[in-house]
Amino acid sequence: MVVAAPASGSGKTTVATGLMAALAARGLRVAPFKVGPDYIDPGYHTLAAGRPGRNLDPWLTGEERVTPLFLHGSAGCDIAVVEGVMGLFDGRGDGDFASTAHVARLLGAPVVLVVDAGRQSRSVAALVHGFATFDSRVRVAGVVLNRLGSARHEELCRAALEETGVPVLGAVHRDDDVVTPSRHLGLVPAAERLPAAVTAVDRLGALVAGSCDLDGLVRLAGTAAPLTGEPWDPSDGREPGARRVVAVAGGAAFTFGYAEHAEMLTAAGAQVAVFDPVRDESLPEGASALVVGGGFPEMYAAELSANEPLRAEVAAFPGAVAAECAGLLYLCEELDGRPMCGRVPGVAQMTNRLTLGYRDAVAVRDTLLTRQGERFRGHEFHRTTVTGGGQPVFRWRGGTDGAGDARLTASYLHLHWAGAPQLARRLLAYAEPSSRSPSIAR
């Protein structure tokens, strides 16, 4: 089933995560998904379901891969819960491409609408009626009322919704104890606040179990259309050759990543070794490639800067280096006035301006991962800026971005390798010791 909402802030993350935890507590094998490019919510989904939280994003991977990626991520499970993004019909630009509704249509899945009932009663019926009838291809099959103030408030909302024919499958009352802390880019990632995040997810599971009709929700999920086709195969990124060690940055400062990336590297014969740039003073032994993804290095700038042995090793690393957003900042000369690795000529600083959105990017030069003229669909999500970063790697409407050479690609652009499997192949091709040369294979 797809858990959606009329707008952001309605409580769909609370309900979706709590539902995953409640169903898992019943002994069901739950496959957790998130619509869109978000990295943070899947971290909580992982805790709730005990399986990797995954993203379904038609823009990043192509709509033709949404069902195969879903089949791959839900293999061996009893039920799948897909948390939506923004409002149900909110997509890229003025259409609904890459919206929750778009993904629900691709999966043939019923939608459960989470409605913030605060400060309204009978009006919830008009709202639900509008969403249920707006697009006949999207089946809004149930409602969870959220932030109810009293038993009487719940009674009024339920009575009004009887006229819509859309059943109420849950009624969640306000609970100030169920709060997940936020900061400048959304929720604080689960990996940064363990074990508090585990406790929070357990509370969400108990809240949903006590407020929602779990049996009815399971039955509803069973009405999803059967899916045809083959599951996505991570060996799409296969690059035959000797076994290589790929060092992947993790820990509290680098929590953003798609599960499929590691699966593609592993399927290609690589050994994925996670290291923590805050704590570890050296890269994993034998590393021939380095991946530094997204996260919140600005929150750990002092600790990252203080780890001088690792910074020096990263600066002199002779292998392949792929960095996105937080990784770009870590590779710069400075971040908020603190020395970083200096692999990229530039200075990074926090700002008050949020940069957020999908990007239709063109590679303007050959680098480790890019070839001039290639198009990439990506996503930007940050409140920092880099000045003096050298020659850019990407161009899109409104700007240019990144730095790179034959063994480096660093950019603000988040990419999903399932949508561009050549990225994994190119990383591993350069990581092969015999191929480390300034030339770039096409």
Distance in angstroms (rounded) separating the CA atoms of residues 114 and 135: 17
Distance in angstroms (rounded) separating the CA atoms of residues 165 and 90: 24
Given a contact cutoff of 8 angstroms between Cβ atoms, the answer to whether 43 and 63 are in contact is no
Closest CA to 293 of 200, 191, 184, 180: 191
Distance in angstroms (rounded) separating the CA atoms of residues 298 and 326: 8
Task: Report DSSP letters for 371-387, one per residue.
Answer: -TT-EEEEEEEEEEEEE
Number of Cβ within a 10 Å radius of residue 432: 17
Given a contact cutoff of 8 angstroms between Cβ atoms, the answer to whether 81 and 110 are in contact is no
Distance in angstroms (rounded) separating the CA atoms of residues 4 and 375: 31
Residues in the chain: 442
Given a contact cutoff of 8 angstroms between Cβ atoms, the answer to whether 150 and 180 are in contact is no
Radius of gyration, alpha carbons of the chain: 22
Give the sign of the dihedral formed by CA 422, CA 427, CA 432, CA 436.
positive
Helices (H), 172-282: 196-211, 214-221, 259-267
3-state secondary structure of 290: strand
Distance in angstroms (rounded) separating the CA atoms of residues 224 and 227: 9
On the CB side of 120, how many CA atoms lie within 13 Å of its CA? Answer: 14
Active site residues: 325
Q: How far is CA 296 from CA 255, 256, 328, in A?
A: 8, 9, 12
